[in-house]
Amino acid sequence: MRFICACVLACVGLGAIMAAKRKFLTLEVKARIISEASTGRKKGDIAAEFGISNSTLSTILKAKDAITSAISSGTSTKRKKLTPSAHEDLEKALYTWFLDMRAKKMPISGSVLQQKALNYACILGIEDFVASTGWLTRFKARHDIVGKVLCGESAASDANGAATWASSALPDILKDYASSDIYNADETGLFYELLPKKTLHMKGQACNGGKHSKKRVTLLLCTNMDGSDKRCPLVIGKSLRPRCFKGSRILPVKYVANRKSWMTRAIFGDWIKAFDRDMKAQNRKVCLLIDNCSAHNVDDVELGNVDVRFFPPNCTALIQPLDQGIIHSVKSAYRQRLIQRLLLNIDTGRQTKVDLFMALQMVAAAWTATRRSIIENCFAHAGFKPDAEVTANLSIELDEDGDRGRVEPPSREATAAWAALRDTGNVPEHVSMDQFFAVDADVIAHEELTDEAIIDEVRHDEASSDDECDAQDAPVPPPALTVMDAFDVIRDFFGVHDDDVAMQQITDCEHRATALMSKGRRQTKLTGFFRK
């Protein structure tokens, strides 16, 4: 009997020792491990650094998708185990709503969360859900929600609020960061195929996911204060794989999609993590200033090199640099290109079709053409000046229409093109060029988190419209003879104008085209050989 007891005690003691040696890692640490593994580091080195066995490392890497998904959905990074909730859809909807309310500085208590949970249970048809105190405690723990009440703030927006921020928070940012390390990012909607004839019809429309959403994209533009780093534009469309993309492997922008073509928390989270990785690779610490909409909530995103700062609620129109003329400048440059293309098509008798692929090319060109001086001036107008005294005495000046008077006037080239287009009868009598350039200034770029939208997001998981395509036919490579004839025509055109730079670029492009056509010819012959 004593022998049996001794054996039992020995087994219990061994189990206790094994349990003591077992290391439970938080989701935050697991995410860091996954990030290190993605860089190509040796697994043995990673295991040694984090004090885990190779088998534990393999288990973590196998669960990569589950861990990443849990963190992106708002699960607390302090948790050590992924124990799913019995009502995942309900809790996902509730947490999404909670983040939206917190971004709006609305007061939220435990009882408010419980009542909202019951509302979502009713909408989702969940009959066995009980919003008990125990459930509330577990929900708050799962999502790392601390505190009983989130105090509200006034949503009133005026020049005084903007000036207060500019005199209190902004000087510290200017002191702590160089101008090249202060960034601003913002979204804007773009009716990419809109022509002047439809301007009056679309002017002032919010376009929050209705019938015009397929012909609209959302742009995320980001630049630093001195204009030395204009980040590659992020474009959000409706279809992930439009027909017009077929055969075109390289896009001049970063392109993603969802069903309503607007910014979501998931898309912004992916973008800012990529931005953070790039800053880490450059060994830079930067400050990113953004508005406080719910799509920009990054509380659950681990960032090491990007310090995110939010503008005060409802003040961005006054103190956000991109809103001071940068976005307007990009849209104006885009529409100037659209007008010029329309004029050429009218002169040559061709129909004007603006597909998404063409639009992305023009967006990238418009962003590239945005001068550093425009960016620097818009930051300065928003109060971003090295001189703290000037910033402290910031005054917000509005014109009679409530707009900032800081947008550069249209170029003479754009004005001439608009006049020529009007002469062709393709511009309505009461539409001005300014109206056309600013037609989508009020288009919604962020998701509107109504209960209906939240439930729709939960049920569809923000699936993009992979199967929905633009009406345009997929591009077919032109015959080699047509390509070579086109080069001859373009060469003759620039030869008449004595443009040596363009002639050299044409020669380079022709060389690349010849190489591609030769490669295709070899592949065709090889395929035919195997078919014999």
CATH code, residues 23-83: 1.10.10.60
For residue 259, give the 3-state DSSP assignment. coil
Task: Report residues of the chain scoring pLDDT below 50.
Answer: 8-9, 12, 14-20, 148-157, 202-204, 207-213, 388-405, 463, 465-472, 524-527, 529-531
Domain extent listing, the chain: 23-83, 84-153, 183-437, 480-520
| pLDDT tens-digit map of 49-100 | 888 888 888 888 888 877 766 665 555 566 656 666 678 888 888 888 887 7
Closest CA to 256 of 270, 246, 244: 270
Return the pLDDT at 63. 80
Question: What is the number of other CB atoms lying within 10 angstroms of the CB of residue 340?
Answer: 15
Burial of 454 (0-12, 13-18, 19+ CB in 10 A): buried
Do 23-83 and 84-153 fold alike per CATH?
yes
Return the pLDDT at 223. 98
Domain 84-153 adopts which CATH fold? Arc Repressor Mutant, subunit A (1.10.10)
For residue 183, give the 3-state DSSP assignment. strand
Q: Which two tokens mark 435?
A: 């109206």
Q: Which two tokens mark 425?
A: 């009868």
Return the pLDDT at 4. 55
Long-range own/partner contacts, residues 500-506 (CB < 8 A, 24 or more apart)? none
Q: What is the DSSP string of 443-473?
A: ---B----HHHHHHHHHHTT---TT---SSP
The residues that bridge with 216 in the sheet, in sequence order, are 191
Return the pLDDT at 334. 94
Return the pLDDT at 246. 74
| Calpha distance 315→327 (Å, rounded) | 17
Return the pLDDT at 268. 94
Q: Could you tell me the CA-to-CA distances from 499 to 353, 369, 494, 504, 507 in Å, in that order?
A: 29, 20, 6, 9, 13
Return the pLDDT at 240. 84
